[in-house]
């Protein structure tokens, strides 16, 4: 007897009968493997590629961000992702001088897990180098002038979330919705993907650049400093679902290490699964994702 | 003259203190709890900023977006946020949450118990520049921008001052006392009401499988059984009929595909070689997850039944 949508249970999740790609992304024990499937995040013919760059000097001992190192990491990641010969060519591949670009960061002031300003500043600087005038670069959380924007850069932080399991790029556009945002809270926030399909948003995202300098993996609802660590990374891609899936694995591995046992992100990140299967924004199947890792490898975890 | 003025000041302070204490001891139903009186304007050189912020059930999302749902699930009433600053030192942030009941203050405190246990209020944890505790109907979070020896000391001092200003202790949830103690991992204990909270601690289902609501109480705990760990969930419903209805629904959905059973107690083997049980008695459901054998389910469930019978408040209710 098959489950209806509202009757999906833990048993379905942990056997892969529901949200199978999420379970695989989390590395849950005992999940069935598809014959011939690639190892997670090692697809030889990937549907999506995600680049991860890390640098030990990106975050100092007192958690200060090194802006110069972050800018270098950004260049390395975007260049590698684009396949271009140098950083400027890479940025010009994605942005034109006549673009109006919205850099959508996560303020998350109440939880103090924001996108670090050094990341958004580095992006804005490269956009200017690529010929986009400063007056047409908007760095915003709320209040993005979406109608003016011809291009968006999605720049979230990484945090485990009490309602969605994890909040990264798929959730980052919730600010673009009108009306009461509480309507996205129900059903594991499965509807978040629809914010990407809003008329003033759809098709504009040129890059997803995730601030993985100091991710948060705890149960929330607010910050416990024990549950944050200096990963010192940035992730770059164009597929938000694939990027978020990589982040799922990262947080899950960290949680397991912290507790010394499996500590599943809870609730399951339905918004990521739905962004794949309902809104077709990308792939949440780790066997279809290729993760390219650059730079510092100590503690890479994935 | 100066002495008389001094005596007058003491008298006024005393009367003020009495009012403050009276406000804090007001019974549920009286909304005017003066949580603002709990926070000092200055402590050890840190001074309060000019603008406090207050939030209610209607405005909590303005402060913490969707995370407000967790507080609402614990019947949060009011929040006061105050910032403190000291030249050359990390800033501090204080959040004082007034909950509807001391049980809910305990509950929201139990949401995250990672950190070092400290003796403050009725339960407290500290980690890396973050202190939180509960006392009576109040839950307090104190966070330093950065942990130093100085900020650790001032957080403790501030916490003690706030705790002292709350005149009495409140009741822990009675349901927590129904957890058997043998093998209980104390930091795993969670008290809550609604599905949104259960989903944070132990994802059971997309739907509200157990019909949890503001009218139910639930406690979750984890037990060491040999090399394995087992989850125990006890839910108290408003009445036996609602408990029975949840019992039937749980079996129908969670044990989907297995032959139905009429017994109030049922154990099933599921995936990964684990056992799950559900037991209905009066207005209570007792569930065990991730057990390695049937006997563990039965013993834990029986231990809960025994505990429920011990608890005198429910004995009185059962006698009605």
Q: What number is the ipTM of this complex?
A: 0.91
Helix, strand, or coil here: A153?
strand
Arithmetic mean of pLDDT, A116-144 = 97
Helices (H), B25-88: 60-64, 68-73
Q: What residues of chain A lie within 8 A of the CB of B256, using their CB?
A: 1, 3, 7, 9
pLDDT over threshold 50, residue A28: yes
pLDDT > 60? residue B162: yes
Which residue reads 């599905």 in tokens? B195
pLDDT at B130: 97
**Beta-bridge partner residues of A104:** A140, A154
Question: Taking 60 as the threshold, does the pLDDT of residue B286 lie above it?
Answer: yes
Determine the 3-state secondary structure of B15 from DSSP.
Answer: helix
Residue B121 — left, alpha, or beta (φ > 0 → left; ψ -120 to 50 → alpha)? Answer: left
The first and second tokens of residue B192, run together, are 């809550």
Contact B272 A10 (CB under 8 A): no
| Residue B202 pLDDT > 90 | yes
Whole-angstrom distance, CA of residue A187 vs CA of residue A6: 9
Average per-residue pLDDT for chain A: 93
Closest Cα in chain A, distance from residue B226 (Å): 15
CA proximity to B191, closest of B224, B221, B232, B170: B221
CB contact under 8 A, A9 and B205: yes
Output the pLDDT for position B24.
45
Least confident of A17-21, A251-255, B25-29: B25-29
- DSSP code, position B170: -
Of A189-193, A247-251, B29-33, B84-88, which range is least confident? B29-33
Question: How far from A51 is each of A38, A103, A158, B54, CA to CA, in Å?
Answer: 18, 19, 16, 43
Top residue of B146, B206, B260 to mutate, by most chain A CBs within 10 Å, is B206
Average pLDDT estimate for B79-99:
96
Chain A residues whose beta carbon lies within 8 Å of the beta carbon of residue B201: 219, 266
Which of the pair, B23 or B170, is modelled with greater confidence? B170
Q: How far is B276 from chain A (nearest CA, A)?
A: 11
> Looking at beta carbons, which residues of chain A come within 8 Å of B187?
none
pLDDT of residue B224 exceeding 50? yes
Q: Over 50: is that where the pLDDT of A116 sits?
A: yes
pLDDT value of position B231: 98
Does B55 contact A at CB distance below 8 Å?
no
pLDDT at A17 (0 to 100): 84
Residue B282 CB partners (closer than 8 Å, separation 6+): B240, B243, B318
Contact A267 B203 (CB under 8 A): yes
Q: How far apart are CA B107 and CA B218, in angstroms?
A: 10
- Please give the C-alpha separations between residue A41 and each of A78, A97, A245, A265, A279, in angstroms, as whole numbers: 19, 34, 9, 19, 22
pLDDT band at A261 (very low <50, low <70, confident <90, very high): very high
**Count of C-beta atoms within a 10 Å radius of residue A199:** 8
Is B66 in contact with A182 (Cβ distance < 8 A)?
yes
- What residues contact residue B85 under an 8 Å CB cut-off, 6+ apart? B46, B47, B49, B91, B92
Higher pLDDT, B140 or B258: B140
What whole-number distance in Å separates Cα of residue A144 and Cα of residue A152? 10
pLDDT above 90 coverage of chain A, percent: 79
For residue B17, name the pLDDT band (cuts at 50, 70, 90).
Answer: very low
**Please, where are the H alpha helices in chain B?**
2-24, 60-64, 68-73, 102-110, 149-165, 195-201, 240-254, 294-310, 312-319
Q: What is the pLDDT of residue B262?
A: 79
CA gap A81, B301 in Å, rounded: 55
DSSP type of residue B119: -
Q: What is the mean pLDDT of residues B284-300?
A: 97
> Cβ–Cβ of A30/B271 closer than 8 Å?
yes
* pLDDT at res. A181: 84
Question: Residue B220: pLDDT above 60?
Answer: yes
Q: Residue B32 pLDDT more than 70?
A: no
The pTM assigned to this predicted structure is 0.91
* Integer Cα distance of B67 and B314 in angstroms: 34
Alpha-carbon distance of B115 to B131, in angstroms, equals 9
Q: Of A234, A235, A150, A154, whose CA–CA distance to A196 is shortest?
A: A154
User: At which residue do the structure tokens 């709320």 appear?
Assistant: A142
CA gyration radius for chain B? 23
Chains A and B form CB pairs within 8 A to the count of 122
pLDDT score at A220: 87
If DSSP codes are grouped into helix, strand and coil, which group holds residue A224? coil
Could you tell me the pLDDT band of residue A136, with boundaries at 50, 70 and 90?
very high
Within an 8 Å CB–CB cutoff, is residue B51 touching chain A? no
Q: How far is CA B168 from CA A108, B106, B137, in A?
A: 35, 14, 10
pLDDT band at residue B315 using 50, 70 and 90 as cut-offs: low
Min Cα–Cα distance to chain A from B218, Å: 18
Report, as an integer, the average pLDDT of A37-46: 91
Q: Do A266 and B201 touch (CB under 8 A)?
A: yes
Distances (CA, A) of A300 to A55, A69, A115, A160, A250: 11, 18, 20, 18, 8
Find the CB nearest B67 among A29, A221, A266: A221
Burial (CB < 10 A; 0-12, 13-18, 19+), residue B38, is buried
Q: Of A57, A28, A55, whose CA–CA distance to A40 is shortest?
A: A28
Candidates A15, A110, A161; nearest CB to B271: A15
pLDDT (mean) for B215-221: 98
pLDDT of residue A114: 93
More confident site: B149 or B5: B149
For residue B141, give the DSSP letter. Answer: E
pLDDT at position A271: 93
pLDDT at B10: 45
- Please name which of A208, A186, A185 lies closest in space to residue A196, comparing C-alpha atoms: A208
The 10 Å Cβ neighbour count of residue B43 is 19
What is the per-residue pLDDT for B12? 43
**Greater model confidence, B107 or A7:** B107
Which residues have CB under 8 Å from B215's CB, separation 6+? Answer: B193, B237, B238
Q: How confident is the model at residue A108 (pLDDT cuts 50, 70, 90)?
A: confident
The 8-class DSSP code of residue B207 comes to: S
Query: What is the average per-residue pLDDT within B240-250?
Result: 96
At A174, is the pLDDT very low, low, confident or very high (cuts 50, 70, 90)? very high
> What's the pLDDT at B16?
42
In this prediction, residues A8-12 reach a mean pLDDT of 91
Mutation for testing the B interface, residue in A222, A259, A261 having most B CBs under 10 Å: A222
pLDDT band at B317 (very low <50, low <70, confident <90, very high): low
């Amino acid at each position: 007897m098959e489950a209806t949508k509202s009757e999906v249970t833990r048993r379905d999740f942990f056997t892969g009968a529901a949200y199978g790609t999420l379970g695989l992304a989390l590395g849950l024990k005992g999940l069935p493997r598809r014959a011939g499937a690639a190892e997670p995040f090692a697809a030889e013919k990937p549907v999506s590629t995600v680049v991860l760059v890390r640098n030990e000097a990106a975050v100092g001992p007192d958690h200060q961000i090194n802006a110069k190192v972050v800018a270098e990491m950004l260049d390395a990641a975007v260049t590698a992702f684009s396949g271009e010969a140098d950083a400027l060519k890479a940025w010009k591949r994605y942005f034109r001088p006549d673009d109006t670009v919205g850099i959508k960061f996560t303020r998350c002031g109440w939880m103090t897990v924001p996108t670090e300003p050094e990341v958004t500043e580095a992006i804005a600087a490269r956009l200017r180098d690529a010929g986009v005038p400063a007056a047409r670069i908007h760095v915003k959380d709320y209040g993005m002038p979406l109608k003016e924007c011809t291009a968006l850069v999605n720049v979230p932080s990484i945090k485990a979330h009490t309602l969605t399991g994890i909040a990264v790029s798929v959730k980052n556009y919730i600010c673009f919705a009108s009306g009461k945002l509480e309507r996205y809270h129900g059903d594991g926030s499965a509807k978040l993907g629809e914010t990407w399909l809003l008329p003033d948003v759809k098709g504009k995202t040129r890059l997803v650049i995730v601030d993985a300098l100091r991710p948060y993996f705890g149960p929330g609802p607010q910050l416990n400093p024990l549950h944050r660590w200096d990963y010192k990374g940035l992730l770059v891609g164009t597929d938000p679902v694939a990027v978020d899936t990589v982040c799922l694995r990262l947080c899950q591995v960290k949680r397991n290490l912290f507790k010394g046992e499996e500590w599943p992100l809870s609730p399951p990140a339905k918004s990521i699964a739905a962004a794949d299967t309902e809104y077709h924004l990308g792939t949440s199947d780790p066997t279809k994702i290729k993760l390219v890792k650059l730079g510092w490898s100590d503690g890479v975890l994935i | 003259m100066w002495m008389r003025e001094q005596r007058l000041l003491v008298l006024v302070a005393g009367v003020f203190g009495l009012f403050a204490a009276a406000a804090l001891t007001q019974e549920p139903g009286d909304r005017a709890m003066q949580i603002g009186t709990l926070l000092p304007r200055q402590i050890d050189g840190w001074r309060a900023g000019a603008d406090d912020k207050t939030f209610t059930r209607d405005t909590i999302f303005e402060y913490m977006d969707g995370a407000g749902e967790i507080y609402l699930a614990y019947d949060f009433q009011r929040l006061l946020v105050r910032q403190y600053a000291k030249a050359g030192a990390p800033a501090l942030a204080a959040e004082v949450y007034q909950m509807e009941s001391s049980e809910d203050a305990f509950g929201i405190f139990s949401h995250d118990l990672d950190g070092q246990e400290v003796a403050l209020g009725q339960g407290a944890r500290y980690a890396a520049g973050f202190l939180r505790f509960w006392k009576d109907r109040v839950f307090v979070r104190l966070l330093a921008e950065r942990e130093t020896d100085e900020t650790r000391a001032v957080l403790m001092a501030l916490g003690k001052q706030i705790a002292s200003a709350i005149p009495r202790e409140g009741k822990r949830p009675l349901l927590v006392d129904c957890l058997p103690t043998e093998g209980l991992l104390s930091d795993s204990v969670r008290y809550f009401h609604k599905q949104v909270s259960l989903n944070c601690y132990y994802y059971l289902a997309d739907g509200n499988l157990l019909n949890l609501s503001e009218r139910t109480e639930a406690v979750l705990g984890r037990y060491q059984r040999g090399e394995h760990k087992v989850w125990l969930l006890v839910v108290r419903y408003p009445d036996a009929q609602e408990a029975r209805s949840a019992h039937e629904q749980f079996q129908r959905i969670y044990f989907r595909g297995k032959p139905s059973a009429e017994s109030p107690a049922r154990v099933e083997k599921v995936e990964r070689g684990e056992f799950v049980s559900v037991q209905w008695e009066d207005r209570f459901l007792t569930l065990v997850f991730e057990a390695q054998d049937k006997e563990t389910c039965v013993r834990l469930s029986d231990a809960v039944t025994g505990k429920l019978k011990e608890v005198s408040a429910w004995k009185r209710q059962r006698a009605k």
